[in-house]
C-alpha cells in the first residue's frame, strides 16, 4: 500500500471558505428581537389595571379615561336600575360621581349604598364595567381597611341606621 501523498490538482486540499457576514440574517434577527420586546411591553402595560377612586378618574396619573382601570366608590342610593339585561348605577367617592353600565347582573350581595370596585374603561362620561367586586368578606376588609373606611364614611342614609 502506497501512503505517499499525491500531488495532483484533483486531490489538493480545499482552501478554507471565508465566512461571509450575512447582513440580511442579522437585520432579521434584530427585527424579531425588537418586535418581541414591543409585544411583551404592550402586553405588560395592558395587563395593569390602575386602582382609582371615583374622584381620581381623569385627574390622577394612571387614571386616564383612555385606559383600563378599576374604580372604587359607593353605589348611590336610588341610582340602581336594570335596563335590557344590563345594570346601571352611579358610583360616588369624595363628592365625585361616575355613571356605570355593567352588562349583566352583578349578583351576590350587590346593592345600593355599599362600596364596590368596577373594572373596565371610561367611554365618554360612562364607565363600561365588565367586572364588579363587592366588599363582602373579612379578607377584603383586612387587605383594604383604609379604602373601606373611606368609602363607608360616605355611605347612604339607609345604611346609617
pLDDT at 159: 47
**Tens-place pLDDT, residues 26-44:** 888 999 999 998 888 777 6
Query: Could you tell me whether strands 115-123 and 50-53 are parallel, antiparallel, or unpaired per DSSP bridges?
Result: unpaired
Domain that holds residue 59: 50-155
Residue 136: inside a domain, yes or no? yes
Mean pLDDT of the chain: 77
Residue 120: inside a domain, yes or no? yes
Torsion of CA 15, 17, 18, 19, to 10 degrees: -160
Residue 30: inside a domain, yes or no? no
Q: Which residue would you say has higher pLDDT here, 119 or 17?
A: 119
CATH of the domain at 75: 2.40.50.140
Our count of domains for the chain comes to 1
Residue 147: inside a domain, yes or no? yes
Residue 39: inside a domain, yes or no? no
Question: Rounded to an integer, what distance in angstroms lies between the CA atom of residue 92 and that of residue 57?
Answer: 11
Residue 26: inside a domain, yes or no? no
Q: Which residue would you say has higher pLDDT here, 92 or 1?
A: 92
The answer to pTM > 0.75 is no
Residue 25: inside a domain, yes or no? no
pLDDT at 51: 79
With CA atoms as reference, report the closest residue to 66 among 27, 117, 9, 120: 120
Residue 10: inside a domain, yes or no? no
Q: Which three cell numbers stand for residue 106?
A: 352583578
Amino acid at each position: 500500500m502506497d501512503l505517499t501523498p499525491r500531488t495532483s490538482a484533483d486531490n489538493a486540499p480545499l482552501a478554507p471558505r471565508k465566512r461571509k457576514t450575512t447582513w440580511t440574517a442579522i437585520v432579521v434577527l434584530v427585527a424579531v428581537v425588537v418586535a418581541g420586546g414591543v409585544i411583551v411591553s404592550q402586553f405588560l402595560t395592558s395587563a395593569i389595571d390602575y386602582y382609582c377612586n371615583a374622584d381620581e378618574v381623569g385627574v390622577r396619573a394612571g387614571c386616564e379615561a383612555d385606559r383600563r382601570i378599576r374604580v372604587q366608590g359607593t353605589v348611590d342610593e336610588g341610582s340602581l336600575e336594570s335596563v335590557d339585561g344590563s345594570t346601571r348605577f352611579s358610583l360616588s367617592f369624595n363628592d365625585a360621581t361616575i355613571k356605570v353600565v355593567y352588562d349583566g347582573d352583578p349578583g351576590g350581595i350587590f346593592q345600593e349604598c355599599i362600596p364596590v370596585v368596577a373594572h373596565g374603561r371610561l367611554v365618554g362620561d360612562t364607565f363600561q364595567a365588565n367586572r364588579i367586586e363587592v366588599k363582602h368578606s373579612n379578607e377584603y376588609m383586612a387587605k383594604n381597611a383604609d379604602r373601606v373606611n373611606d368609602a363607608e364614611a360616605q355611605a347612604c342614609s339607609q345604611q346609617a341606621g
